[in-house]
Amino acid sequence: MTDPHSFNPSRLPSTGGRSDTRLDHYVDSYAQRTHKMTASAVRSLFSVANRPEVVSLAGGMPNIADLPLGKVGNLLDELIQRDGARIMQYGSGQGELQIREQICEVMAEEQIRAHPDDVVITAGSQQGLDLVTRIFCDPDDVVLVEAPSYVGALGTFKSYQTQISHVAMDDQGLDPDALRQVVTSLRDQGRRVKFLYTIPNFNNPAGITQPTERRREILQVAEDLDLLIVEDNPYGLLTIDGEPLPAMRSMETDRVIYLGSFSKTFAPGFRVGWVLAPHAVREKLVLAQESATLCPPVFSQFAISEYLAKHDWRGQIRQYRDMYRERRDAMLQGLTENMPQGTTWTHPTGGFFVWVTLPQGVDSQKMLPRAVTARVAYVPGDAFFADGFGSRHMRLSYCFPTPERIIEGTRRLGEVIADEMRINEVFGITDDHRLHSNPTPGPSPDIS
Amino acid sequence: MTDPHSFNPSRLPSTGGRSDTRLDHYVDSYAQRTHKMTASAVRSLFSVANRPEVVSLAGGMPNIADLPLGKVGNLLDELIQRDGARIMQYGSGQGELQIREQICEVMAEEQIRAHPDDVVITAGSQQGLDLVTRIFCDPDDVVLVEAPSYVGALGTFKSYQTQISHVAMDDQGLDPDALRQVVTSLRDQGRRVKFLYTIPNFNNPAGITQPTERRREILQVAEDLDLLIVEDNPYGLLTIDGEPLPAMRSMETDRVIYLGSFSKTFAPGFRVGWVLAPHAVREKLVLAQESATLCPPVFSQFAISEYLAKHDWRGQIRQYRDMYRERRDAMLQGLTENMPQGTTWTHPTGGFFVWVTLPQGVDSQKMLPRAVTARVAYVPGDAFFADGFGSRHMRLSYCFPTPERIIEGTRRLGEVIADEMRINEVFGITDDHRLHSNPTPGPSPDIS
């Protein structure tokens, strides 16, 4: 089983896919956009890191081992016997009404009040991103993202030939003043800014959450500048400390397109996510969905609908929270015990990821082969920037391995970093990091 | 349950979606391509035609009532108990190896020899179309299609801002001489022709099949002109008369991209189709798939894989063939008994559709409201042309209703057409059909 959130270092943007163009009869026939598609975005983790002896802190696969498989199997069996000819048939391009109603209940957990008419089902939340970009972005339009931001979103935005501008974060997430500055500056240059893409909860990869007041400030800037916001919230219900915060969409209905997913709160294999959008935008999304797939996976929608109706899904989410809390705690404990001085990291209150800043002179991308040799894997930070920045950072995930493996992973990683630092000391630091254009390029990490 | 193959006349391209732009805050923000998206392509049939008293000869929903639901339910229950944590997890962007191997067996039924490495799984065959267009087509590139061609493909090509050129058909399908002429002429004008999209078996909507020799001729033209072919084959195994013909892909591997689907041979609700492509193209398709959805529906793939492994799927297809033969025969009998003089139609040897040419002066689009009032529905012919041609034609489908209902539908339709002819006789023919630019615009129908 491969992991789409992971990262294949043999396919970096700089060389991605170009090596075999000599053999490609069609190299001159591809669309412009195809040259922007690189495998760095989302690709199975290099095979060696999938070997059982390697502790992978790289992947973003949710841990679904605790799902009640017996019950799910029985539910689907009964559902097929009862209604098979309907749930295996074509469905609505917008998605089935039944699950759109239930999704409104799910979103109510984050204080969103929505009408099922405004929900469009997608083949996973990634397709929501794809369709939103499709309907809004012409080549060279600007999309704003956090610095750093989700690698899969960057890949999609690039594939539509957009320009990606990063907006600085601090320890409360996206910086509203930086946002105002970036938008104003881009518009002064005559650029068309199409939307801000933000992950308010447990940012992937930064592990930082916008407090409620910060969300209001960002919405105020959006209001002042007439800016559309795409709020991506796959992890919102997976809080570890405290209760879910109100979604941006709960505070503002007309300016926010909200992306949701069952991949982390139930299971990703059904590929069911959704977009909640202002009504006129929703119409365009349905047209785009019909053109893309006719209709999103029908059987999957009924399967999840049945699960939501017949199983204590809130209880399942509480169970997930406890399980991820144990892993998050192991990660933080392991980092405290094992990271060499000068290393800092964020303290996530939910979600899957910790963002690590390495000591001066240590390059996460260059170090990766040595880390894998030492049987630990991570995602180098530059994957989460569109502009080559980030090599002093890395993303560590605690979602999948056991707590013991997580601690062992940080121990191995600590040794690899310490080795790098010793090599730098002996041979001199070869600090060739490219500088980032933003004043505050990465999140201000929580020093630990 | 709505039907994505059907057609909503209230949303024709000429007015589609424009009526509410006044209320759309984002009307100036959409991408150029969004203005090309219209609901005509694939949209639920107008609600009135879904009323039980209406005989719908409009839809393209396969009849899956005969599926062994008890067995399918049990198989999936066992599969989940056995392997749930894997089949509900993220999967490969290319699709699971296991089903790609089985797909090679399925394609062998049409004499295709392929390697699972060259197969990419898609969220239904429609997504195959979307991804192929995405990687090949820039705005204003030309895509060639049969005259008429699949409405859903036309919609996708338009949404990528391509120019669509129709190529004439005769009673053996796409005319190779016309193809040569059109390509040469377009290239003389400096246009970039990206590929020919063709449905060799039981063309949707024309119901015409290319004989083996015709396929070779078309491939020869493609070879001479260095033209890529996209072979769409959702119905190939659903032959009614005789055995499946060899696919174009079985005769030529480097110049043909083949689209396959389980929607008609098993069930559409799982949304599993595939693309078989030359190796270099396959690489691009996987990148596009990862950007679009991370990975195609994982659970669906394992579900179908289990069905293929544990059920006599060839026997199921034989059963489908017999069921559709009975319906096709009812349709042809009904047309023979009920169509007014001057009406002609094709004789499909498989698939779902008959293409009807109406008597001079009868306009299928204008007639539709009267037909629905008379409790029969069809798809007007102009849906299958990118250029407004086709209003003297209609597509009738025999896939879903019972044989008795099909015959009753043709009876009602015959009366409506006869009424139209009488009105024309009394008030004079208002023949405002636009003329088509191609010398042989539609298929040469089999006069019956």
Helix, strand, or coil (residue B311): coil
| pLDDT of amino acid B11 | 36
Which residues does chain B have within 8 Å of residue A152's beta carbon, measured at their own beta carbons?
290-291, 294
CB atoms A138 and B39 under 8 Å: no
Cis peptide before A4 (omega within 30 of 0): no
Through-space distance between the first and last CA atoms of chain B, rounded to whole angstroms? 35
pLDDT higher than threshold 80 for residue A54: yes
CB–CB of A314/A415 below 8 Å?
no
Does residue A430 surpass a pLDDT of 80?
Answer: no
A300–B4 C-beta distance less than 8 A: no
Compare all CA atoms of chain A with the CA of B122 and give the residue at the minimum distance.
Answer: A293
The residue whose two tokens read 């086709």 is B390
Strand bridging mode A344-345 / A353-357: antiparallel
Q: Do A269 and B89 touch (CB under 8 A)?
A: yes
pLDDT of residue B27: 85
The CA-CA-CA angle for residues B207, B211, B216, to 5°, reads: 130
Which residues of chain A have a CB within 8 Å of the CB of B44? 92-93
For residue A26, name the pLDDT band (cuts at 50, 70, 90): confident
Instruction: Mutate one of A89, A100, A255 to test the B interface: name it (highest B CB count within 10 A).
Output: A89
Partner-chain residue, chosen from A31, A138, A271, that has the shortest CB–CB distance to B297: A271
What pLDDT tens digit does each residue of chain B (448 aa) get? 444 444 343 333 333 334 444 468 888 899 999 988 876 533 544 555 668 899 999 988 999 999 999 999 999 999 999 999 999 999 999 999 999 999 999 999 999 999 999 999 999 999 999 999 999 999 999 999 999 999 999 999 999 999 999 999 999 999 999 999 999 999 999 999 999 999 999 999 999 999 999 999 999 999 999 999 999 999 999 999 999 999 999 999 999 999 999 999 999 999 999 999 999 999 999 999 999 999 999 999 999 999 999 999 999 999 999 999 999 999 999 999 999 999 999 999 999 999 999 999 999 989 998 999 999 999 999 999 998 899 999 999 999 999 999 999 999 999 999 999 999 988 876 554 443 333 333 333 332 2
In angstroms, the CA A41 to CA A382 distance is 11
Using an 8 Å CB-CB cutoff, list chain A residues near B79. Answer: 73
Backbone phi and psi for residue A9, each to the nearest 5 degrees, phi listed first: -70, -15
Residue B183's nearest CA partner among B195, B172, B173 is B195
Q: What residues contact residue A243 under an 8 Å CB cut-off, 6+ apart?
A: none
Which chain A residue is nearest to residue B83, measuring alpha carbons?
A: A69
> What is the spatial distance between Cα B401 and Cα B42, in angstroms, rounded to a whole number?
20
CA of A230 to nearest chain B CA: how many angstroms apart? 14
Interface contact flag, A267 B80, Cβ < 8 Å: no
Q: What is the pLDDT of residue A5?
A: 46
Q: Which of B405, B379, B397, B43 is nearest to B202 (CA)?
A: B397
Q: Do B152 and A39 touch (CB under 8 A)?
A: no
Residues of chain A with Cβ-Cβ distance to B293 below 8 Å are 123-124, 126-127, 130, 271
CA distance A373 to chain B (A): 25
CB contact under 8 A, B90 and A155: no
Q: For residue A177, what pLDDT band results from cuts at 50, 70 and 90?
A: very high
Is residue B367 within 8 A of residue B420, CB to CB? The reply is yes
Comparing alpha-carbon positions, the chain B residue that sits nearest to A277 is B26
For residue B55, give the H/E element and its range: strand B55-56
Going from the N-terminus, what domains does chain A have, and what CATH number goes with each? 41-60+315-424 (3.90.1150.10), 83-311 (3.40.640.10)
Check residue A48 and give its pLDDT: 57
Task: Check CB contact under 8 Å for A93 and B17.
Answer: no
Q: What is the tens place of the pLDDT at every residue in A180-236?
A: 999 999 999 999 999 999 999 999 999 999 999 999 999 999 999 999 999 999 999
The answer to whether A41 contacts B137, with C-beta atoms less than 8 Å apart, is no
Q: Which residue matches tokens 């991605």?
A: A16
Subunit contact A93:B43, Cβ cutoff 8 A:
yes
User: pLDDT digits over A337-392, tens only?
Assistant: 999 999 999 999 999 999 999 999 999 989 998 999 999 999 999 999 998 899 99
Min Cα–Cα distance to chain B from A109, Å: 24
Note whether A90 contacts B136, CB cutoff 8 Å: no
Looking at the predicted structure, is the pLDDT value of residue A284 above 70?
yes
A10-19 confidence digits (pLDDT tens): 333 333 334 4
The residue type of B263 is S
| A269/B91 touch (CB, cutoff 8 Å), yes or no | yes
- Among B64, B129, B294, pick the best mutation site for testing chain A contact (most A Cβ within 10 A): B294
Q: How many CB pairs under 8 A join A and B?
A: 329
Distance from CA of A366 to the nearest CA of B (A): 24
In this predicted structure, the answer to whether residue A432 has a pLDDT above a threshold of 80 is no
Per-position DSSP letters for B101-166, written without gaps between them: HHHHHHHHTTT----GGGEEEESSHHHHHHHHHHHH--TT-EEEEESS--HHHHHHHHHTT-EEEE
Query: Does A298 sit within 8 Å of B37, measured CB to CB?
Result: no
Selected residue with higher pLDDT from A161 and A446 = A161
Whole-prediction pTM value? Answer: 0.91
State residue A6's pLDDT score. 46
Q: Which residues does residue B354 pair with via DSSP β-bridges, in sequence order?
A: B396
CB contact under 8 A, B287 and A37: yes
Of B78, B290, B299, the CB nearest to A270: B299
pLDDT of residue B35: 87
- CB within 8 A of B1, min separation 6: which ones? A86, A89, A90, A91
Model confidence at A237, pLDDT cuts 50, 70, 90, reads: very high
DSSP state, residue B52: T
Closest CA to B400 of B72, B47, B54, B9: B54
pLDDT at B154: 95
Neighbours of B315 (CB within 10 A): 9
Tell me how far apart the alpha carbons of residues B245 and B111 are, in angstroms, rounded to a whole number: 8
Nearest beta carbon to residue A69 from set B24, B81, B297: B81
Q: ∠B388-B394-B398 over CA atoms, to 5°?
A: 145
pLDDT at B388: 86
Chain-chain contact of A268 with B72 (C-beta, under 8 angstroms): no
Calculate the alpha carbon distances from A82 to A89, A230, B70, B304 in Å.
Answer: 14, 39, 9, 19
Chain A residue numbers with beta carbons less than 8 Å from the beta carbon of B132 are none
